[in-house]
């Protein structure tokens, strides 16, 4: 087993991509910022890599490696749900919850060595999180002007 290729590079790629998305959230002073996003991304990658090691160590036809992805999605869903707040008819934190879910998906993609998919996902997440702000402002301003 090549530790550099099989483990270290995916973990570093996950660190980098999680950092990119996490920085955007941190700069916006969102409830879950840089460290949360990076840890979710790295953790997701590590779960996938650990599953690969478990299959190699304990293998056999009864060990379904895809089950870890289901566990990551479920677990991260609970983490994201914790960032959603509701006060006086307003809901806050949905985008943060979605970004946590997205970095988990990026981490899973890195864990299976689907680097182009992970990079595309990170870029698209950044486009949505940062680039769509102007669209929201534009549509908010248009609705205010029409009233």
- Read off the pLDDT band of 147 (50, 70, 90): very low
pLDDT the model gives residue 145: 47
Q: Hey, what are 30's tokens?
A: 């969102």
What are φ and ψ of residue 2, in 5° steps? -95, 100
CA 65 vs CA 20, 62, 79, 112, 120: distances in Å: 28, 9, 22, 11, 24
- State the pLDDT at residue 37: 93
Q: What is the pLDDT of residues 98-144, one digit of tens each?
A: 999 999 999 999 999 999 999 999 999 999 998 888 888 888 765 54
Please name the helix (run of DSSP H) or strand (run of DSSP E) that holds residue 91, with its range, or none: strand 90-92
Do residues 126 and 20 touch, judged by C-beta distance below 8 A? yes
Cα angle 84, 85, 89 (rounded to 5 degrees) comes to 125
Distance CA 117, CA 17 (A): 11
Contacts of 10 (CB under 8 A, 6+ apart): 45, 49, 110, 111, 113
**Helices and strands of the chain, counted as H and E runs:** 7, 2
Say what the pLDDT of residue 85 is: 80
* Coil, helix or strand at residue 99: helix
Asked if 41 and 107 touch (Cβ cutoff 8 Å), the reply is yes
Contact of 22 with 38, CB cutoff 8 Å: yes
Q: What is the pLDDT of residues 11-67, one digit of tens each?
A: 999 999 999 999 998 888 877 789 999 999 999 999 999 988 888 888 766 677 788
pTM: 0.85
- Domains in the chain: boundaries: 3-140
């Amino acid at each position: 087993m090549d530790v550099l290729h099989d483990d270290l590079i995916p973990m570093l790629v996950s660190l980098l991509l999680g950092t990119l998305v996490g920085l955007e959230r941190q700069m916006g002073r969102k409830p879950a910022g840089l460290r949360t996003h990076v840890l979710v991304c790295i953790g997701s990658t590590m779960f996938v890599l650990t599953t690969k090691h478990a299959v190699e160590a304990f293998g056999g036809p009864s060990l379904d490696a895809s089950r870890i992805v289901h566990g990551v999605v479920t677990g991260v869903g609970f983490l994201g749900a914790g960032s959603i707040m509701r006060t006086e008819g307003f809901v806050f934190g949905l985008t943060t919850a979605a970004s946590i879910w997205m970095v988990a998906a990026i981490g899973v993609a890195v864990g299976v060595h689907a680097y182009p998919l992970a990079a595309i996902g990170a870029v698209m997440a950044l486009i949505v999180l940062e680039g769509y702000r102007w669209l929201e402002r534009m549509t908010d301003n248009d609705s205010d002007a029409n009233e």
